[in-house]
Amino acid sequence: MSDQNEMAEIIVLGRNVLGPIEGLLFGQFFELGGRCVNNGVFEPDSPRSRQDGVRTDVLEALQELKVTHLRYPGGCGASYFKWEELVGPVAERPRAKLYRMTGASQSTAFGIPEAYDYCQELGAEFYLVVNAHVESPDDAANLVEYLNGTTPTRYADLRRAHGREAPYNVKIFGLGNEIYGDWQNGQMTAEEYGRWFRQAAIQMKRVDPTIKLIACGAGRVNPEWDRTVLFETLGYLDMISMHNYVGRPGFRDCMAACRVLEEMLAAVNVAIDEAMDTTLGAHPRTRRELGEVPQVDKRPTIAFDEWNVWYREPHTGPAGVEEKYDYTDALTIATIFHFILRNTKTIELSNISLAVNLIGHLFTDSERCVRQTTWYTQKLMVDHHRGSVVDSAVDAPLFSAKHERFFCGIVDPEKAKDENLPTLLHYDDIPALDVLVSIDRESKTACMSVVQKLEEQPLTVALTFCSLQPTGDTIEVARLTGESPAARNTLDEPHNVGITTETAPRTNTFTFPPASLTFLTFNIE
């Protein structure tokens, strides 16, 4: 590529609707691990906390993101807590549980009722992860009865004894977390987990038929896991989960992260489609192992319920995995939001991992809370994209990059220079532009968000609209600001990265700065 200003084109295909922007796409994740919940969301000794121990500065920052749902209590943390330890009077709960992955203890004071109330303040759904690792299917059904039961029975009455007459009406349950991994408490094989899930689902949905259940998926890491679990649970699950963490030293490599996720999504969708073939009764295992063809009302969708940039910090000690995000990370996150919103026909639920301190949008000490660079990316996405996503075509310069096949732990900066590692995928066709276009017919606006992936070169782009007509003489331009790809927000310098907005003349071309995230909002007919 030359050093002069390159030319490119974005063509908006207004008739080609990719999917709606609705439901559970902008969630957060609270884990009883590290400093996410304890000494993050909940810190009774902080001067920034209310009487109930909730930090108001953290709450206000999350309220600004218009969070759609909240996943709790893990992640890995879910496998260490039995649900009855997280309900009832705080004084009667265990004082703390040992989070064996790091050797640190986790208080139970911010339990299920507290997390639910937090969701109410956020205006968010509560997504509860069940401890499938060490609890039984019957325990899972008892949890649903406790939360949603209206009958005069043991666990509904236990909720009433704890001071809540009305049901919580929790509707989203994840059954276990990464239960295939040896890093988990209560690891299972796919066959063991599939049978556990099916038994639990039957009992849980007998208590409340309206709940949605999410099964643990492994994606490209172990596609046979997904095939087996889907075969065992089809007709009982609503979603299967997909997890991945991305990022590498080097700007270009980070700009290739979304390609890895596209390949992972394709693999999961293939597994779901193969499972759906069993509804025809053609699969030789169907009648032999299941006895009859499963009854499926709806094709399962995907819960992309753990994702983020994570490659620098190890998962050790009380303050493990406290990534300090930079401007490059914020751009990487933008490409992932684009990926999610382009695929809402199959991705029903998405939440970034996590909310505070532990690979979090927010970082705190006892008195201060800073919005990390990635917080601003989600803020821009939530505020600007609504309605439906439409397709777009990009003609832009291409570059080469590499990325891990899937999350491989901490990436050493020196080893990252090795081009021949077997863990790497190589790409020579990464477009310099990553584009998402949404149309909101109600407000008569269209929004185009663009990640410009050339680190040092601006890019002038011709804008072409098909079956969509911008109107008016001006557009709104919102940008993620930062002096360099390495810019960070810290507790001492919290405003190095932020957002600017301005009104600009509407023209048929637009110049995107190097390494940038820009939102253009047009009025439309």
Tell me the two tokens of residue 110.
């911010």
Q: Examine the fold and report which residue of 335, 355, 385 is the final residue of a domain before the chain moves on.
A: 385
Strands 369-371 and 362-364, by their bridges, are: antiparallel
- Band of residue 288 on the pLDDT scale cut at 50, 70, 90: low
pLDDT at 177 over 50: yes
Domain that holds residue 313: 21-385
Q: In angstroms, rounded to a whole number, what is the distance separating the alpha carbons of residues 6 and 514?
A: 11
Question: Does any domain span residue 208?
Answer: yes
If 0-12 CB within 10 Å is exposed, 13-18 middle and 19+ buried, where does residue 17 land?
A: middle
- Does 269 share its domain with 414? no
Q: Examine the fold and report which residue of 337, 364, 385 is the final residue of a domain before the chain moves on.
A: 385
Question: Does any domain span residue 1?
Answer: no
Question: Does any domain span residue 293?
Answer: yes
> What beta strand segments (E) does 140-275 contain?
172-175, 212-215, 239-246
- Does 219 share its domain with 332? yes
> Mean pLDDT throughout 282-305?
81
- Does 159 share its domain with 260? yes
- Does 334 share its domain with 420? no
Decide which of 423 and 401 is more confident: 401
Report yes or no: 325 and 362 within 8 Å, Cβ to Cβ.
Answer: no
Other C-beta atoms closer than 10 Å to the C-beta of 83 total 21
Least confident residue range of 77-81, 99-103, 296-300, 344-348: 99-103
Q: What is the per-residue DSSP string for 82-118?
A: -GGGGSS-GGGS-SEEEETTTTEEEESSS-HHHHHHH
Nearest to 177 by CA among 139, 220, 227, 134: 134
**190's torsion region: left (phi>0), alpha (psi -120 to 50) or beta?**
alpha
242-252 pLDDT, tens digit per residue, is: 999 999 999 99
Tell me the two tokens of residue 62.
């999350």
- Does 411 share its domain with 303? no
- Does 113 share its domain with 245? yes
- Does 430 share its domain with 292? no
Question: Does any domain span residue 194?
Answer: yes
- Does 36 share its domain with 89? yes
- Does 298 share its domain with 417? no
**359's torsion region: left (phi>0), alpha (psi -120 to 50) or beta?**
left
- Give the CATH number, domain containing residue 403: 2.60.40.1180
- Does 56 share its domain with 133? yes
Sequence-distant (≥ 6) Cβ neighbours of residue 263 within 8 angstroms: 220, 425
Sequence-distant (≥ 6) Cβ neighbours of residue 412 within 8 angstroms: none
Question: Does any domain span residue 352?
Answer: yes
- Does 170 share its domain with 203? yes
218-231 pLDDT, tens digit per residue, is: 988 888 999 999 98
> Mean pLDDT throughout 477-502?
98
- Whole-number average pLDDT of the chain: 94
How far CA 44 is from CA of 32, 49, 51, 87, 107, in Å, comes to: 16, 6, 7, 18, 12
pLDDT at 2 over 60: no
378-395 pLDDT, tens digit per residue, is: 999 999 999 999 999 999
Which helix (H) or strand (E) covers residue 375, if one does? helix 373-384
Tally of structural domains, the chain: 2
- Does 230 share its domain with 372? yes
> Mean pLDDT throughout 509-522?
97
- The pLDDT score that the predictor gives to residue 292 is 74
Question: Does any domain span residue 67?
Answer: yes
Nearest to 219 by CA among 258, 273, 283, 270: 270
Nearest to 27 by CA among 247, 310, 385, 304: 304
pTM score, whole prediction: 0.96
pLDDT at 93 over 80: yes
Which backbone phi and psi does 383 adopt, to 5 degrees? Answer: -75, -25
Helices (H) and strands (E) in the chain, counts: 11, 23
Q: Examine the fold and report which residue of 350, 385, 420 is the final residue of a domain before the chain moves on.
A: 385
- Give the CATH number, domain containing residue 52: 3.20.20.80
194-205 pLDDT, tens digit per residue, is: 999 999 999 999
Q: In angstroms, rounded to a whole number, what is the distance separating the alpha carbons of residues 519 and 525?
A: 19
pLDDT at 5 over 80: no
Question: Does any domain span residue 422?
Answer: yes
DSSP at 356: B
